[in-house]
């Protein structure tokens, strides 16, 4: 009988099964009638007990620099993790509060971003915080509060060139939406002094002049935008709107389609062409553009409704219902969609 026969078998089997390699070697035995073997087991790498690697301690400057590089490359999630780590070490770190707020804003979490910027303002009296807070309010459509927040900045000249431009541009946008065209124009022109080659400002000024029915001035701004960027879809939309105001509908249509060629998601151009299609009764071309749009932005309420109106006119009832269902799922109170849906139901159009 061998010594092995006297041992419990299951533990040995488990040991053998867990090994990466097994080798057997016979060694000399002290007893003439007995053979002795040695089992050599090489454990699997993943079966070795894991020893956590020590977490390296990086300097604050190293973490900040890497977070800035991540933001420049648009990797806001990783940058957020670095700023959060810095705030674990010092909850009042001004650079980390600002950086985390920017990351949260870019990731779409505006409420948390505002908390970071508010803390930055309260703890450090940082006027940069007011720049970003005002930006948040502007993007939320709270234009009066945005203007009030920007107004708390004591000296614009003390801000960086980038922040100064942001304050003036967003102030112009807020005044424009509030119908305060004179103040909007002043803000935009001041922003233009900071960044004379801004395509966006030329487009915004063009829209402002269009709103004020200064068509020649509007046209000049849109043309300057195209001089700076020949592929600016919004500038072509602007020129189309100017042509439309002049009742030059052929030119307007040409520019709207050019705008869509450059940016299939240009909603202004798309909806204007939908309105023109209803006037002319020609829906084939615009149907393709609508199809392209909803393929990329399937939840857009206004475009889904516009698409439904075109499908309704073309007698494509099932597809019309599908578009209305999407629009009303996103916004159950969207009245135009409700009205068209009732018309479909009352007339008992087949599904």
Residue 348's domain comprises 277-351
Residue 184, domain member (yes or no): yes
Domain stop point among 196, 215, 238: 196
Nearest to 167 by CA among 138, 205, 142: 138
Tokens standing for 121? 């303002």
Report the chain's mean pLDDT, rounded to a whole number.
88
134-166 pLDDT, tens digit each: 999 999 999 999 999 999 999 899 899 999 999
74, 103 Cβ separation under 8 angstroms: no
58-108 pLDDT, tens digit each: 899 999 999 999 999 999 999 999 999 999 999 999 999 999 999 999 999
Residue 266, domain member (yes or no): no
Predicted local distance difference test score (pLDDT) of residue 324: 95
Give the start-end residues of each E strand in 80-148. none
Q: How many CA atoms lie within 13 A of 253 on its CB side?
A: 13
Band (pLDDT 50/70/90 cuts) for residue 345 is: confident
Q: What is the 8-class DSSP label of residue 40? A: E
> How far is the CA of 81 from the CAs of 32, 55, 77, 100, in angstroms?
69, 15, 7, 8
Predicted local distance difference test score (pLDDT) of residue 1: 38
What phi and psi, each to the nearest 5 degrees, are found at residue 27? -120, 160
Helix axis angle, 301-313 to 267-280, nearest 10°: 20
Predicted local distance difference test score (pLDDT) of residue 5: 47
CB neighbours (10 Å) of residue 132?
A: 24
Which value, to the nearest 10 degrees, does the dihedral of the CA atoms of residues 217, 219, 225, 228 take? -100
Domain stop point among 162, 196, 230: 196
Sign of CA dihedral 189, 192, 193, 196: negative
Band (pLDDT 50/70/90 cuts) for residue 13 is: low
Residue 101, domain member (yes or no): no
Predicted local distance difference test score (pLDDT) of residue 212: 96
Residue 304, domain member (yes or no): yes
Domain stop point among 180, 196, 212: 196
Residue 253, domain member (yes or no): no
Predicted local distance difference test score (pLDDT) of residue 346: 83
195-239 pLDDT, tens digit each: 999 999 999 999 999 999 999 999 999 999 999 999 999 999 999
Band (pLDDT 50/70/90 cuts) for residue 350 is: low
Band (pLDDT 50/70/90 cuts) for residue 330 is: very high
> Percent of the chain scored above 90 by pLDDT?
79
Residue 15 has pLDDT above 60, yes or no: no
Residue 93, domain member (yes or no): no
Nearest to 273 by CA among 304, 310, 223, 246: 310
Q: Please state which of the ranges 31-45, 280-294, 300-314 shows the lowest mean pLDDT.
A: 31-45
Band (pLDDT 50/70/90 cuts) for residue 6 is: very low
Residue 156, domain member (yes or no): yes
Nearest to 257 by CA among 237, 280, 279: 237
Band (pLDDT 50/70/90 cuts) for residue 3 is: very low
Residue 48 has pLDDT above 60, yes or no: no
Question: Which residue's entry shows tokens 């008992």?
Answer: 348
CATH label of the domain that carries residue 334: 1.25.40.10
256-269 pLDDT, tens digit each: 999 999 999 999 99
Sign of CA dihedral 13, 19, 22, 25: negative
Pure H helices in 212-314 = 215-228, 233-245, 249-262, 267-280, 284-296, 301-313
In whole angstroms, give the CA distance from residue 65 to residue 131: 22
238-258 pLDDT, tens digit each: 999 999 999 999 999 999 999
Q: In total, how many domains does the chain have? A: 2
294-321 pLDDT, tens digit each: 999 999 999 999 999 999 999 999 999 9
Residue 182, domain member (yes or no): yes
């Amino acid at each position: 009988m061998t010594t092995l026969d006297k041992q419990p078998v299951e533990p040995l089997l488990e040991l053998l099964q867990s090994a990466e390699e097994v080798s057997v070697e016979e060694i000399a035995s002290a007893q003439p009638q007995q053979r002795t073997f040695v089992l050599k087991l090489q454990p699997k790498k993943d079966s070795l007990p894991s020893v956590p690697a020590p977490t390296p301690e990086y300097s604050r400057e190293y973490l900040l620099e890497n977070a800035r590089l991540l933001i420049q490359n648009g990797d806001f999630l990783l940058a957020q993790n670095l700023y959060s780590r810095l705030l674990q070490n010092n909850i009042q770190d001004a650079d980390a509060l600002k950086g985390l707020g920017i990351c949260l804003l870019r990731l779409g979490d505006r409420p948390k971003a505002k908390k970071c910027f508010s803390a930055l303002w309260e703890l450090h009296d940082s006027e940069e915080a007011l720049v970003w807070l005002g930006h948040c309010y502007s993007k939320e459509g709270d234009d009066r509060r945005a203007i009030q927040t920007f107004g708390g900045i004591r000296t614009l000249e003390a801000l960086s060139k980038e922040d100064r431009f942001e304050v003036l541009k967003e102030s112009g946008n807020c005044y424009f939406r509030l119908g305060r065209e004179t103040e909007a124009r002043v803000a935009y022109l001041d922003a233009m002094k900071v960044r004379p080659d801004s395509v966006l400002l030329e487009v915004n000024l063009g829209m402002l002049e269009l709103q004020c029915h200064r068509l020649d001035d509007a046209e000049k701004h849109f043309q300057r935008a195209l001089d700076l960027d020949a592929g600016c879809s919004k500038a072509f939309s602007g020129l189309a709107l100017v042509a439309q105001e002049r009742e030059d509908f052929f030119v307007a249509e040409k520019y709207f389609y050019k705008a869509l060629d450059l940016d299939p998601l240009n909603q202004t151009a798309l909806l204007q062409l939908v309105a023109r299609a209803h006037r002319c009764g020609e829906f084939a071309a615009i149907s393709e553009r609508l199809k392209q749009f909803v393929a990329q932005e399937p939840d857009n309420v206004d475009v889904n409704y516009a698409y439904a109106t075109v499908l309704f006119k073309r007698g494509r009832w099932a597809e019309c219902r599908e578009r209305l269902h999407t629009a009303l799922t996103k916004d159950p109170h969207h009245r135009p969609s409700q009205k068209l849906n009732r018309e479909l139901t009352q007339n008992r159009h087949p599904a």
